[in-house]
């Protein structure tokens, strides 16, 4: 419950700060920079070395990968068919393709499925959503923000992107079963905990309620994919095709139905991929998701 309250407190606080003249207009860009270049690498160095890999865990891990990859094909196809700009297409791929599986997902899963459910939720989030953001998310942000780049230029931008560097370091630590001392881990955990409040403040600073905004149609399409189509796809694959009915599968499907990932939308905004639409995906997606999550929870009770 505290997480839900904090979400709206920081969003509202950021929204109020818009009207204070003493607040620099580029404050949200500074917050975005801190989230992407400081907090996100710290999270990678804290969480990834602790992941225990097991082939039996591919179902929850696969949720974020499936959702994002299909998002790439879905919005890229629509973008080419409807003549969208590359920045609009990239924005929708990232914002609709990644879910808020931790800050929003963890308290909901814990309340509904207890400690066992949290074990599955952690797998959906860490080797799933977080790793997708650090790899495919960065790739999409780079490709769709810069236009026609050579393979070498794209590889260079990704390779020297701080979150990707720390992701690779963290993966090597996992492979060699090495982790930092307790006080260093606490330092990274503390730094990483700033992701959500800072990102929400940034969103609040940029959130606009414009009745005539050109983004309403794209917002609706993005949320339709994230809140309805993604969990429907995972449900069809896991339950209908593969005949899986365990609580772990239910948790995986419910996590796939979470609102857009805050950090993912911040990444899109930082790369200039329709920042206004990115913030709207969070600002409107979170409250709307409470309704759609109830729908999916009731569906899952029938299997």
CA distances from 105 to 100, 175, 286 (A): 6, 28, 11
| pTM, rounded to two decimals | 0.82
pLDDT (tens, 9 = 90+) of the chain, 303 residues, equals 566 677 778 878 888 888 787 888 788 888 888 888 898 888 888 877 887 766 667 899 899 999 999 999 999 999 999 999 999 999 999 999 999 887 788 778 878 888 778 778 878 887 889 889 888 998 999 889 876 666 677 777 777 778 778 888 988 998 888 999 999 999 998 998 887 788 778 878 877 766 666 788 999 999 999 999 999 999 999 999 999 888 989 999 999 999 999 889 988 988 899 998 998 898 889 889 989 999 999 999 988
Domains along the chain with CATH numbers: 28-200+213-300 (1.20.1530)
Task: Mention every residue, 6+ apart, whose C-beta is less than 8 A from residue 272.
Answer: 87, 145
User: 3-state SS of the chain?
Assistant: CHHHHHHHHHHHHHHHHCCCCCCCCCHHHHHHHHHHHHHHHHHHHHHHHHCCCCHHHHHHHHHHHHHHHHHHHHHHHHHHHHCCCHHHHHHHHHHHHCECCCCCHHHHHHHHHHHHHHHHHHHHHHHHHHHHHHHHHHHHHHHHHHCCCCHHHHHHHHHCCHHHHHHHHHHHHHHCCCCCCHHHHHHHHHHHCCHHHHHHHHHHHHCCCCCCCCCHHHHHHHHHHHHHHHHHHHHHHHHHHCCCCCHHHHHHHHHHCCCECHHHHHHHHHCCCCHHHHHHHHHHHHHHHHHHHHHHHHHHCCC
């Amino acid at each position: 419950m505290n997480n839900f309250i904090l979400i709206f407190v920081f969003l509202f606080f950021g929204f109020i700060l818009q009207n204070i003249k003493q607040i620099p207009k580029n404050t949200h860009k500074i917050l975005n920079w801190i989230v992407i270049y400081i907090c996100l690498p710290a999270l990678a160095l804290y969480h990834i070395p602790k992941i225990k890999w097991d082939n039996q865990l591919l179902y929850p891990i696969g949720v974020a990968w499936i959702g994002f990859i299909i998002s790439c094909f879905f919005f890229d196809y629509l973008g080419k068919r409807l003549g969208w700009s590359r920045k609009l297409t990239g924005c929708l791929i990232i914002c609709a393709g990644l879910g808020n599986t931790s800050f929003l997902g963890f308290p909901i899963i814990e309340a509904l499925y207890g400690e066992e459910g949290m074990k599955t939720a952690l797998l959906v989030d860490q080797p799933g959503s977080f790793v997708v953001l650090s790899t495919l998310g960065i790739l999409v942000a780079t490709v769709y923000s810069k236009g026609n780049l050579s393979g070498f230029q794209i590889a260079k931008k990704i390779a020297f992107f701080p979150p990707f560097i720390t992701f690779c370091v963290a993966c090597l630590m996992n492979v060699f079963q090495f982790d930092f001392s307790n006080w260093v881990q606490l330092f990274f955990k503390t730094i990483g905990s700033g992701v959500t409040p800072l990102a929400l403040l940034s969103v609040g600073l940029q959130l606009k309620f414009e009745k005539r905004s050109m983004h309403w149609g794209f917002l609706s399409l993005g949320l339709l994919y994230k809140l309805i189509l993604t969990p429907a796809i995972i449900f069809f694959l896991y339950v209908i095709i593969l005949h899986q009915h365990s609580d772990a599968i239910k948790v995986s499907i419910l996590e796939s139905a979470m609102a857009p990932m805050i950090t993912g939308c911040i990444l899109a905004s930082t790369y200039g991929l329709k920042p206004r639409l990115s913030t709207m995906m969070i600002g409107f997606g979170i409250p709307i998701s409470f309704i759609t999550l109830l729908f999916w929870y009731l569906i899952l009770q029938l299997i």
